[in-house]
Chain A
Amino acid sequence: MTNSTSATNGDAQINGNAQNNALDQANAPSSKLMCFGADNPLMLDSGAELAPWQIAYETYGTLNEDKSNAVVVCHALTGDQYVASQNPVTGKPGWWELMVGPGRPVDTNHYFVICANVLGGCMGTTGPASTNPETGTSYGLDMSVVTIGDMVRSQAKLVEALGIETLFAVVGGSMGGMQVLQWAAAYPEKVFAAVPIASGARHTSQNIAFHEVGRQAVMADPDWCQGKYAQENKRPVKGLAVARMAAHITYMSDESLQQKFGRNLQDRAAITFGFDADFQIESYLRHQGMTFVDRFDANSYLYVTRAMDYFDLAAAHGGRLANAFMHTKTRFCVMSFTTDWLFPTSESKAIVHALNAAAANVSFVEIDSSRGHDAFLLDEPEMFETMFGFMTGAANARGIPAPATPIGE
């Protein structure tokens, strides 16, 4: 950003400090940063070349001497590189500290964990909120649309730049799981183990439909300004908040919403015959929407949702998913959750069937949970046991000292 916008224009009530911080993060992240110059462009699936470009990442743990213990964690739609450390914008703990950290299933006492912000994101990796060196203002819609393949290609260049030839594992949930599958398909010789959780090898029609609702909400906000809101000192916070509200519903199950909120009223004894947030669920969603806009860029939301929509691993391999994994030596552990209707078990099973057809080494665990798609981010002991067991088995096979082995317990 050339200048930070202190935008509290009109009725768009923005938390100024968090907002400025979020904008700064897009160009100058608090995390580690790898910069690639004009001589090292990133080739995009759209045919465009991106240069210069940068990728923001965090690492945890220590790379061992033969560089065989590196684990890439891929984040979901609105995640970031702060998988196991405090987010500099929100001040909240890392988004997957239950899974990644010392003594956790992805044990940073044993593995060297790398987590990068995705291409198109807004936490320091090049995206629409980043400054376009040709104009001095943010790219906005001038940036080429990116894909899951582009995200993984950028991560592969980071891993290479870090001097790491092969990864012990690639792990991620939801859009992170798509990246895991793409890693395994595009770089089979580099990925020893792959764990896609609550994910799919394609975005379904329903998934695309929900994303389109979100994008239309953003673009219908007059403050979106055809994507040039930064130049206009505006931000489409209302549209982005509505997009987040709609999306948030898809992350939860009917059952969990009912358990958590039911038809409970918000700070009132009776319905008001008006359109305030009478119900707790309304208040909750509004809160989710308003806090989201403090930390996320609206154009970035368009780009990253689009990347998920375009993902179809089978189509990229002659229409047959098994072709993506032919002769793979990677060992896979696929996980799904019973009440996840965004990426239902059937999507995970399609991956498993394709891996079986490729005679790949695959484990598949469906976890009984009432908490819908978001379960993968929550305290789900069976998911942790599965991850721990799989990682340990894989570490034994790879010859990496693993945490105490569960086999034979």
Chain B
Amino acid sequence: MNSKDLKNVRGDHRILCDFVEPGSRVLDIGCEDGDLLELLIRTRNVDARGLELHQAGVNKCVARGLPAVQGDADTDLSAYPDGAFDYAILSQTLQATKDPKHILGELLRIGKRAVVSFPNFGHWRNRMQLLTRGRMPVTDYLPYSWYDTPNIHFCTIRDFVELAGEVDAKVLRAEALNAKGERIGFNAPWWVWNLIGDQAIFLLERKK
């Protein structure tokens, strides 16, 4: 493997890689063209597979030498056995699924741990747009209009923490990121992160 400039790697991908132990088995759900898959393989030396809804993305992955299959996170995770992977990763995809709660449960079933990243709908800019304009927020980071967005189940960081509790998941680690995917480098209570984080990454484990 060669030469893709690591400087061009998306910030959230780079941080997400830190959540994954080297040499582990990983399923990346919603892997798109394989950028995160390739980064995981190159930097963490993992045995990684991708699942992607769109065939064009899958074909690009395989042509890049990355293992990927076409499949729908909402329906196709049931084919994987319990504990098949060390990590089940859902990067920027949860909000586009039909049944996020079910999927979170599936992640924790097929993966010993789950890594989930998602845009935080509770960011102050979104709140301001709704408050001042009375319109659904459209930002650089969330560029879709309400009628054409693939994102059908937005949540806030606090919503996600609550959902994790409902599926008996323990939060092992969490990071709030700004729109560029950079760490917000100080510790703060959830409500602060919920206000200033454009996105978040969580590492979860099922409670014993």
Interface residue ranges, A against B (CB under 8 Å): 331, 333, 352-353, 356-359, 361-368, 382, 385-386, 388-390, 392-394, 396, 405-409
Q: Find chain B residues with CB under 8 A from A407 CB.
A: 1-2, 38, 64-66
Which size bracket describes the interface of B in this complex?
20 to 34
Out of B2, B55, B63, name the residue touching A389 (CB < 8 Å).
B63
Min C-beta distance of B139 to chain A, whole Å: 31
* Interfacial residues of chain B within 57-89, with CB under 8 A of chain A in the complex: 58-59, 61-70, 76, 79-81, 84-85
Q: When A and B form their complex, what is the total count of cross-chain residue pairs whose Cβ atoms lie within 8 Å?
A: 85
Q: Tell me the complex Cα distance, A107–B69, Å.
A: 24
Residues of A within 8 A of B67 (CB): 331, 361-363, 393
- B65 near A365 (CB under 8 angstroms)? no
B4 CB–A CB distance under 8 Å? yes
- Describe B's contact surface by its main secondary structure: mixed
Q: How far is the CA of A393 from the CA of B38 in the complex (A)?
A: 11
**A408 to B79, Cβ gap below 8 A?**
no
- Measured between beta carbons, the chain A residues less than 8 angstroms from B68 are 363-364
Q: Whole-angstrom distance from the CB of B39 to the nearest CB of chain A?
A: 10
User: Given A357-B79, A359-B81, A364-B70, A405 and B2 touching (CB < 8 A)?
Assistant: yes
- Check B49 for interface membership: any CB of A closer than 8 A: yes
Shortest distance in angstroms between A301's beta carbon and chain B's nearest beta carbon? 35
3 tightest A-B CB contacts, nearest first:
A393-B65, A389-B63, A408-B4
Q: Could you list which residues of chain B lie within 8 angstroms of chain A, going by C-beta atoms?
A: 1-4, 38, 47, 49, 55, 58-59, 61-70, 76, 79-81, 84-85
Q: List, in ascending order, chain A residues with CB within 8 A of B76's CB.
A: 353, 356
Report if A406-B65 is in contact (Cβ < 8 Å); known contacts: A357-B79, A359-B80: yes
CB within 8 A of B69: which of A362, A367, A382, A388?
Answer: A362
A359 to B110 CA separation, bound complex (whole angstroms): 10
Q: How far is the CA of A356 from the CA of B50 in the complex (A)?
A: 11
| A-B residue pairs in contact (CB < 8 Å), sample of 18 | A331-B67, A333-B62, A353-B79, A357-B81, A361-B67, A363-B62, A363-B66, A364-B58, A364-B69, A365-B59, A382-B63, A388-B63, A389-B64, A389-B65, A393-B64, A394-B65, A407-B1, A408-B4
Most chain B beta-carbon contacts within 10 A, residue among A382, A405, A407: A407
